[in-house]
Amino acid sequence: MPKHYITFRDLSADEYSFIFERTKKLKSERARNQYNRPHLAGRAIGMFFNKHSTRTRVSFECAINELGGHAIVMNIQDSQFSRGEPLSHSGRVLSRYLSGLVIRTYEESQLVTLARHSTIPIINALTNEHHPCQVLADIFTLLENINSEPLAKQLVAWIGDGNNMANTWLEAAAVLGFKLHLACPEGYDPDQAILARAINDNPNIKLFRSPMEAAAGARAVNTDVFASMGHEAQAQKRLEDFKNFQVTSELMAKAAPGAIFMHCLPAHPGEEVTEEVLESPNSVIFDEAENRLHAQKALLEYLIPSL
């Protein structure tokens, strides 16, 4: 049975410890230009996209190359997926060629069906419901910033939409045990089932309506766009509904001294966050983006056993 990575819950806290240690090592080796590893030598990984991407596409393609493998990148619109070929067939066909499939699309149920019919790992590169590869890199970034303080003692704030990123942070808090305070406008809460299960697993998860309350004392303040991919038609309405949910310097001042600002990017400066916060010394947005590469290398090594 292959190990898939569709939600953050697909790995345990121990597995994450291992992956974060590997990420740290791979990052420091790459900084010394030691980044050619034969782990995926001679093997191909599929990368199928049905939504736009900059970071995910480039960081995964670099990661695969640096592990000695070959990335086959395909726009889902160009594949037979979009013409209705059964996923139960596609999963079995692709398993005969590839050693793994990284996929970004709308419906997560498609990944679940593919996984059921694949003998290779299926890796979620973002769906409407989750974005686990991003939160993997984000938690690593948080660890870099708290040095050796225990992760479980940290309070993370999520300000804004209860979207795929918020859902994934909820699962991360459930698996890794840190405190998470979310502030979402009414009507924009995270997925109810994901929220309820996370709170059941970790009573230090709380949902607020006030960004100031959620950010109070946080070690990291996190946000994302008001309108995710697929919600573009609601962009105007959301600007109005989220008008009190911008991350500003005043909000950052409520957080713990030295709190970091996090955003998965792409950002809309002046909407969910001010330019001042994005460009402040405590903004770790570009470290998060860089860490996608290192963390995904560690993830690929872990999910795809060497030959």
10 in catalytic set: no
Is 262 near ligand NVA (CB under 6 A)?
no
The pair phi, psi for residue 257, each rounded to 5°, is -55, 135
The pair phi, psi for residue 251, each rounded to 5°, is -70, -45
Three-class DSSP category at 128: coil
Is 61 near ligand NVA (CB under 6 A)?
no
**112 closest CA partner among 253, 7, 260, 218:** 7
Interface residues toward ligand CP, by CB under 6 A: 53-56, 126, 134, 264-266
Catalytic residue among 43, 263, 264, 296: 264
62 in catalytic set: no
Q: Which stretch binds ligand NVA (CB under 6 A): 10-18, 30-38, 78-86, 159-167?
A: 159-167
Give whichever of 56 and 274 is closer to ligand NVA, judged by the CB atom: 56
Residue with tokens 């395909």: 74
Give whichever of 6 and 126 is closer to ligand NVA, judged by the CB atom: 126
134 in catalytic set: yes
Cβ neighbours, 10 Å, residue 15:
14
Is 165 near ligand NVA (CB under 6 A)?
yes
CA-to-CA separations, 242 to 147, 169, 209, 246, 268, in angstroms, rounded: 34, 20, 11, 7, 13
Going across the sheet that includes 179-183, the strands are 205-208, 179-183, 155-159, 220-223, 260-263
Catalytic residue among 4, 43, 130, 131: 131
What is the number of the residue whose Cβ is closest to ligand NVA? Answer: 228
Give whichever of 102 and 225 is closer to ligand NVA, judged by the CB atom: 225
Q: Residue 225, CB half-sphere, CA atoms under 13 Å: how many?
A: 15
Q: How far is the CB of 219 from ligand CP (least distance, A)?
A: 21
Is 164 near ligand NVA (CB under 6 A)?
yes
Per partner kind, with CB cut-offs from 5 to 8 A, the member of ligand CP, ligand NVA, none near residue 301 is none
Q: Residue 280, CB half-sphere, CA atoms under 13 Å: how many?
A: 22
CA distance 130 to 122: 14
Is 138 near ligand NVA (CB under 6 A)?
no
37 in catalytic set: no
Per partner kind, with CB cut-offs from 5 to 8 A, the member of ligand NVA, ligand CP, none near residue 54 is ligand CP
Per partner kind, with CB cut-offs from 5 to 8 A, the member of ligand NVA, ligand CP, none near residue 165 is ligand NVA
Per partner kind, with CB cut-offs from 5 to 8 A, the member of ligand NVA, ligand CP, none near residue 284 is none
Whether the CB-CB separation of 94 and 46 falls below 8 Å is answered with yes
Give whichever of 86 and 266 is closer to ligand CP, judged by the CB atom: 266
Packing angle of the helix pair 285-303, 132-146 (nearest 10 deg): 120
Residues 223-252 close enough to bind ligand NVA by CB under 6 A: 224-225, 228-229
116 in catalytic set: no
Three-class DSSP category at 183: strand
Catalytic residue among 181, 292, 294, 296: 292
191 in catalytic set: no
Contacts of 192 by beta carbon, 8 Å cutoff, 6+ apart:
none
Q: Residues 148, 29, 99, CA angle at the centre, nearest 5°?
A: 105
Give whichever of 27 and 131 is closer to ligand NVA, judged by the CB atom: 131
Residues near ligand NVA (CB under 6 A) are 126, 131, 163-165, 224-225, 228-229, 264
Residues belonging to the active site: 104, 131, 134, 224, 264, 292
